[in-house]
């Protein structure tokens, strides 16, 4: 009898009742279960520049980047933010920030790539790619201390790798086109690229980028970001906002998943927590799946067009960033226990 009661209590504690309502701002979202409420709270970033990328290492340490040389850090879950570089009206438009741990990270724009090993206290500029002719860097991705990068679309087809903080580069292989815009790796060997065309639009490698296979797949021509949970399971936006494309065989085949969003609202960002827990955002709605994409539901709505990027370090904590320094935080709040009558 005792163990039956324990098992019953454990089962009840794990059950979630998903009721959600939204209002487009500070603390609109309510998602109720038996013990907690999930909600969005706007956080004061202290900047008015557009934020274009966000990366949280855990529920306390996070980084955001954007226009006018903007790189920011929080160490208290977003309650306060610190600018790490001086603002510059003519500075870089940092559209990518990736940290692989508490100290090591990269921030990139089309022409600039910088690297830190002390959580953003100091930065070192990457050495130019060989024969780059000052075109700069394309999309990149980090695994541990390794940075993989594409060349700027339209300038070259190389996939390059650095293992020393971008002080030197090694050419891993070449792609059949020079317009691939996104790259993602889950380990030193397994990676993917995506571009906004139908023929050979998604590429995959299992040898660190030395050789690539390709599939023909219609992807979103505005944002073809590709994200993976492991070497088999990943997602990329479909050709309209109504669908997400998913793969479970390493990118060799892709199947559409219905998002419940209108087709004219493309996916702006994807944050993968696991092969079942995935979050994505349009410019005004955040959607979530907890079953690998079989079902998607809205968990937050904002005034459009405000959202530009999304980061969920775990299923209970997430952030969106966007125009004019906008930051909002998704988190669970414990409900007070009600007394018995």
pLDDT of residue 133: 58
pLDDT of residue 262: 93
Distances (CA, A) of 217 to 43, 170, 205: 39, 29, 17
- Name the band, by pLDDT with cuts 50, 70 and 90, for residue 17: very low
Lowest-confidence segment of 41-45, 132-136, 211-215 by average pLDDT: 132-136
**pLDDT greater than 80 at residue 4:** no
CA distance 257 to 292: 10
pLDDT of residue 39: 94
The whole-number average pLDDT for the span 154-179 is: 91
Asked whether the beta carbons of 198 and 216 are under 8 A apart, the reply is yes
pLDDT of residue 132: 59
Q: Cα dihedral angle (275, 276, 280, 285), rounded to 10 degrees?
A: 180
Digit-coded pLDDT (tens) for 227-274:
999 999 999 999 888 999 999 999 999 999 999 999 999 999 999 999
Digit-coded pLDDT (tens) for 93-112:
999 999 999 999 999 998 89
- Name the band, by pLDDT with cuts 50, 70 and 90, for residue 339: low
Asked whether the beta carbons of 74 and 55 are under 8 A apart, the reply is no
The whole-number average pLDDT for the span 34-38 is: 77
């Amino acid at each position: 009898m005792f163990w039956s009661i324990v098992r019953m209590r454990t089962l009840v504690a794990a059950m979630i009742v998903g009721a959600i309502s939204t209002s487009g701002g500070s603390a609109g979202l309510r998602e109720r279960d038996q013990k907690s409420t999930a909600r969005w709270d706007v956080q004061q970033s202290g900047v008015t520049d557009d934020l274009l990328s966000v990366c949280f290492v855990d529920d306390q340490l996070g980084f955001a980047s954007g226009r006018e040389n903007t790189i920011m850090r929080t160490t208290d879950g977003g309650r306060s933010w610190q600018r790490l570089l001086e603002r510059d009206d003519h500075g870089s438009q940092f559209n990518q920030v990736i940290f692989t741990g508490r100290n090591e990270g990269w921030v990139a724009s089309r022409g600039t790539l910088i690297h830190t090993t002390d959580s953003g206290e100091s930065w070192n500029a990457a050495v130019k790619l060989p024969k780059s002719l000052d075109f700069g860097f394309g999309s990149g991705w980090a695994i541990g201390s390794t940075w993989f990068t594409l060349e700027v679309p339209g300038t070259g087809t190389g996939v390059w790798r650095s293992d020393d903080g971008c002080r030197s580069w090694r050419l891993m292989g070449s792609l059949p086109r020079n317009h691939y815009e996104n790259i993602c790796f889950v380990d030193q060997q397994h990676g993917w690229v995506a571009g906004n065309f139908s023929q050979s639009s998604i590429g995959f490698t299992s040898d660190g980028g030395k050789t690539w296979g390709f599939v023909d797949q219609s992807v979103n021509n505005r944002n073809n970001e590709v994200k993976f949970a492991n070497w088999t399971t990943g997602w990329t936006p479909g050709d309209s906002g109504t669908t997400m494309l998913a793969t479970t065989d390493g990118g060799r085949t892709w199947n559409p998943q219905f998002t419940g969003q209108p087709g004219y609202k493309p996916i702006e960002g994807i944050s993968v927590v696991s092969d079942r827990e995935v979050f994505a955002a349009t410019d005004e709605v955040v959607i979530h799946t907890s079953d690998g994409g079989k079902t998607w539901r809205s968990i937050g709505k904002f005034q459009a067009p405000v959202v530009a990027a999304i980061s969920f370090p775990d299923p209970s904590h997430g952030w969106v960033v966007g125009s004019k320094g906008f930051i909002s935080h998704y988190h669970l709040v414990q409900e007070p226990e009600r007394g018995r009558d």
